[in-house]
Amino acid sequence: MSTAQRVASSEGSVFDAAAEQAFREEIRSFVREHVDDDLRARTDHHRGLTRQQYFDWQQTLVAQGGGAINWPREWGGTGWSVRQQFVFEEAMAQAGAPHQISFNARMIGPILLAFGTPEQKERFLPGTLTWEKWWCQGYSEPSSGSDLASLRTRAVRDGDHYVVNGSKIWTSHAHYANWIFCLVRTDVDAPKHAGISFLLIDLTTPGVSMRPVPHFYGAHVFNQVFFEDVRVPCENLVGAENGGWTVAKALLEHERLYSSRHGEAKRRLLRLRRLAERADARGRRAIDDPRWQDRIAWLAMRVQALEYLVMRGLDSLERTGEVGPFASTLKLKGIETNQAVDAAVAELLGPDALPADQAYDPESAAEAMGLVPEARYAVEARYFFRGPGIAGGSNEIQRGIIAKRVLDL
């Protein structure tokens, strides 16, 4: 029986400290068994996996019962409590497991469970779990980023189809995906929030095309997706026509809940500590410097505070079924905390962090430039976690949501 199945089968029993420790050890053993050196290196260096590696890793998780830990058991999930989910995510990150792309299990899955028809659930959820249906997110447009409700991609009803025209941008991993969940405008005369619908679009449909939007350091994650007279069956509408903004907000709450990246922050902090314990060319260790001791302690407190914030959000989700505007607090503090740890890594390494800016493969760059091996750990400092600080709504947008919906300003 898998780790997930063992824990799920004990539902109703007390998930006490001893059970939690045993669960963490099982996860560490699982990662040691299933994560090879290449996967571990790519994860440590934040280089991303190939499409096949992402797909194979998901099959491994599904086989162990952990492909969608937040889903109910009837759809291949675990039925775990919030605490069990939290421990699993944290322990996997700390053990060095690859990050699971969130579009399937964390975003469209919960939306289909909440808003999908029985037919849509039967049609889409099994393939969403196994990634036979690989999803990407079609929200932002070239002229509609922070003001998402100003989107202009049109969907015009034509019999039993919608005809879609427009484009989406910053579409992460669209070149890997075969489906996209998309916000489209179905009523141009309604107020901008009221004329939006939520469509599921097969990316192999005639009229769909895309082009890459490469990162400045050479990686290919983003894309622009174009729709030219794309015919989408009306049965692919999730929720009510012109009711897509409600669906969109619910999805963004799930996205922001898990964009706190608490597990990544803990993993980065562990790396910072390891680097601080290494002697430099002069035999000195940063960990012996009171200033670095203070810096690391301060970061550890921030990471601990982030953990408590995440637990509050998960508790709200379990009690009420939603996270609400608190999700913006989680995203904001999670990004700030990860950036603070990244900045410490770059400062600690000093000039040895440069290979992260010179090549996408930091190990090769460090070797070619004759720099210390520890420079390979600096790859995440290349961008100081800037991308996630924009994706899903920039930090400024999160502050605006908090001011309006929490502080009533």
Query: Annotated catalytic sites, by residue?
Result: 255
- Which amino acid type is present at position 35? V
* CA pair distance 277, 287, nearest whole angstrom: 6
List all residues 6 or more positions away from 124 whose beta carbon is below 8 Å from its beta carbon. 108, 112, 116, 133, 200
Token pair listed for 272: 């910072």
What is the C-alpha separation between 391 and 393, in angstroms, rounded? 5
CB 84 within 8 A of CB 115: no
Q: Is 327 exposed, middle or buried (0-12, 13-18, 19+ CB in 10 A)?
A: buried
Distance, in Å, from the CA atom of 194 to the CA atom of 177, rounded to the nearest integer, reads: 29
Residue pair 332/402 in contact (Cβ under 8 Å)? The answer is yes
Q: Is 184 helix (H, G, I), strand (E, B) or coil?
A: strand
Q: Any residues with CB less than 8 A from the CB of 1 and at least 6 apart, and which?
A: 9
d(CA 246, CA 251): 9
Which residue has tokens 């025209």? 165
| 33: helix, strand or coil | helix
Count other Cβ atoms within 10 Å, centred on residue 138: 29
Task: Name the token pair of 234.
Answer: 């009306």
**Residues in Cβ contact with 237 at an 8 Å cutoff, skipping those fewer than 6 apart:** 162, 197, 198, 199, 200
